[in-house]
Amino acid sequence: MSGKRWVAVGIAVALFIGSSFFTLALSAFSTDWDNLFAGEEYDVDEHILERGNGNGKIVVVHLNGVIQSSYDAPSLFESATYNHHRFLKQLDAAATDGSVDGIIISVNTPGGGVMESDQIHDKIVEIQEEHGKDVYISMQSMAASGGYYIAAPAAQVYAHPQTITGSIGVIMQSLNVAELAEDLGIQSEVIKSGPYKDIMSATREMTDDERQILQDLIDESYERFVDIIADGRDMPRSQVEELADGRIYSGNQAYEADLVDGLGDLDDVIEAFREDIGKGDIDVVEYRQPLGFPSLFGATAQSVFGDQLSMYSMKEWIHQSHAPRLMYLYTN
């Protein structure tokens, strides 16, 4: 790290300490210091959204950002929008809490990894079948591809009329810079143990055999996607296949196509869930990200360095995402 970067880090630390000292002093008698300096996934942090009659509660958990497990370990300067491990822990906490009557997942995502989406899907099925608690989905501005995959098994799915959803399908992407490398005089040297070890290389054209291998993977994941929707939505497979050509739908269009059960925002979903549970105006709480030291420091650094940290985060994301992956992801 250059001298200028070390100076920048020092300034960030100083500003963080100064801006945080007063807040920490006020909360000294109520703060769990182990939690403050713990990692981002120490525990769930429950906050009351609507206080009700105390006869039970509905938990709201938020899924924001790309569904990808590589965001589980953000750097000191970052505040990740989605942490896969933490999100699964929140679902487990709500499932095993005896005072929880149901769970609402507020979804705002373009989708993400095939494996991670499948893990969330399976967790929702487990909560409903093994713990006997309904899971409702409240789609926000976007719940596409993997965002719809996880919604399929839910007891009820709601979208805002202007939600972007659908994009049912699988994608795998890579860049081919072979011609550019040739123009620049760059030559790639590859030593490999088998003919397909460097499949989807960015420095050469893909062969027909390689393309077929990858297409078979895509087709397998696609068939799984269609099955998930057909089972979860209780729809004929032929009807799902007509809808699952990769296109996106508005919330209104998704409702007309029976991909969602109702239209409304989060407040509407809460009201409907309370009525369906039949215990009156029970409490509504949400699980938030624990406010540990990394979050406080990351927020302060972001306010100071802004665009520089955004560029650093982008470089980290590119580095993490270098290898092509099977994705339930809406991309353009």
Catalytic positions: 145, 197
Segment (H or E) for 159: strand 156-159
DSSP assignment letter at 327: E
> Which residues face 83 on adjacent strands?
none
* Structural contact between residues 301 and 309, judged by C-beta atoms closer than 8 angstroms: yes
DSSP assignment letter at 281: S
Please state, in angstroms and rounded to a whole number, the distance separating the CA atoms of residues 129 and 151.
Answer: 15
Please state, in angstroms and rounded to a whole number, the distance separating the CA atoms of residues 167 and 101.
Answer: 32
* Structural contact between residues 241 and 147, judged by C-beta atoms closer than 8 angstroms: no
Please state, in angstroms and rounded to a whole number, the distance separating the CA atoms of residues 50 and 244.
Answer: 38
Largest CA distance in the chain: 72
Residue 287: closest CA among 32, 52, 73, 62: 62
Q: Which two tokens stand for residue 73?
A: 């370990």
Q: Look at strands 156-159 and 262-263 and give their pairing.
A: parallel
* Structural contact between residues 140 and 107, judged by C-beta atoms closer than 8 angstroms: yes
Tell me the backbone φ, ψ of residue 329, rounded to 5 degrees: -140, 130
